[in-house]
Structure 1
Amino acid sequence: METKNTQQKWNQVAEIKLVYKTKVKASERPYITSSKAVYNLAIQNWNPDTIEFFEQFKVLLLNQSNRVLGIYEMSSGGITGTVVDIRMIFAAAIKANAVALIIMHNHPSGQLKASEVDKQITKKIKEAGQLLDIKLLDHLIITPENYYSFADEGAL
């Protein structure tokens, strides 16, 4: 037999709030026109002391006008990889009201060749985005000197 306390617990749930706050005026947000523009922004926002030390995965969130809403640092990992949780990427995109995103990660080795894991995660993120009407525009692999763009190479 259920007690009164057990019956009342069903309504004790956490409140969920979707909030996106910015102090950057829409006209002052960076405008993305090319993979080179993404790379330049990425390099400005990557720690130069760690770019060749461990792998990081970041997401550039964009509005309808290809203006940057923000950069979400998804994860930091080890020398040869980092965890990419697709649910977290799209939670950030939805929270920011993004309509497009560009994913990017560094290769501490300096190699710009996309691994099979890089290709698989790109495909999964692209497919998930299609379900949510959030377009994956590109995936950049970066090093301090250069970058590889999936879109520019026709690999997207």
Structure 2
Amino acid sequence: MKIKEWAEEDRPREKMLLKGIASLSDAELLAILIGSGNSQETAVQLSQRILGSVNNNLNALGKLSVKELMSKFKGIGKVKAIIINAALELGKRRGNSDPVQRPAIRASKDAYLLFHPLLCDLPHEELWIALTNRSSQVIEKVKISQGGTNETSADLRIILKAAINALAAGIIVCHNHPSGNTRPSRQDDQLTQRLRDAARLIEIKLLDHIVLADGNYYSYSDDGKL
């Protein structure tokens, strides 16, 4: 059977999307790279044979040249051999790279410094969120909305959807006041309370809401309003 005739959850690409990349075997990952097999083998079968030739050792596979891959395996032409070599070289370089250091939010000043470069010089209001893990490290920053010179709106569903998709444990909200006045408005208070209560229902904590101006900020957490 051709791979496209397999059950969807068994096809390497579809399986990766459904179950995550960690669920794929080395042969399935290699099959995604080469894309197709030959007249006798699917891409997965060809990949299994390639790996079997090096006792399933990826380091040994990385030592095979483009010419060796082309000469030893039917269905592996120059382009596929180059792709295999390039992928294994990337894996080697990744191992030599420093791990990504995510910024951690331990206090309101950390949140202010995180958002200040994004918002300090804007002539209009924007609302952003930072999503954090259980160690208070920032997973990602997301722009939620953009408004006028004195107001912006926020859809709680967009905020919560972003948090759920990121498997976040915490949310930090930040928006700017171009006027330079960091005093929160009644609308800011209402948004903070509604988001805090909605996030609590899905066991996500609203850690802070920062109102930012260039050189100064207001923190709901510091003011005891969370």
Aligning the two structures, in what range does the TM-score lie when normalised by the shorter sequence? 0.7 to 0.9
- Give 1:135's match in structure 2, choosing from 193, 197, 205: 205
Paired with 1:103 and 1:147, the residues of 2 have a C-alpha distance of: 13
Deviation of 1:133 after TM superposition, in Å, equals 0.5
Secondary structure of the 1:136 match is strand
Any unmatched runs of 5+ in structure 2?
1-16, 19-97
- Give 1:31's match in structure 2, choosing from 104, 107, 130: 104
Counterpart for residue 190 of structure 2: 120
Any unmatched runs of 5+ in structure 1?
1-16, 19-24
Change (3 A) 1:66 1:28: same
More helix by share: 2
Paired with 2:194 and 2:100, the residues of 1 have a C-alpha distance of: 33
Paired with 1:70 and 1:108, the residues of 2 have a C-alpha distance of: 24
Q: Deviations over 1:95-148 (max 9, x none)?
A: 111010110100111111111110000000000001110100110000111100
* One-letter code aligned to 1:137: L
Paired with 2:213 and 2:153, the residues of 1 have a C-alpha distance of: 19
Secondary structure of the 2:148 match is coil
Residues 55-66 of structure 1: matches in 2 within 5 Å?
Answer: 55-66=125-136
Change (3 A) 1:102 1:87: same
Deviation of 1:27 after TM superposition, in Å, equals 5.2
Secondary structure of the 2:111 match is helix
Change (3 A) 1:49 1:140: closer
Q: Percent identity?
A: 40
Deviation of 1:26 after TM superposition, in Å, equals 7.0
More strand by share: 1
Count the aligned residue pairs: 131
Q: Deviations over 1:25-46 (max 9, x none)?
A: 87500011100011011113x1
Q: Deviations over 1:72-103 (max 9, x none)?
A: 10011101111200000001001111010110
Tell me the C-alpha RMSD between the 2 structures. 1.7
Change (3 A) 1:130 1:80: same
Change (3 A) 1:139 1:26: farther
Deviation of 1:49 after TM superposition, in Å, equals 3.9
Paired with 1:90 and 1:123, the residues of 2 have a C-alpha distance of: 14
* One-letter code aligned to 1:40: L
Greater C-alpha radius of gyration: 2
Secondary structure of the 1:28 match is coil
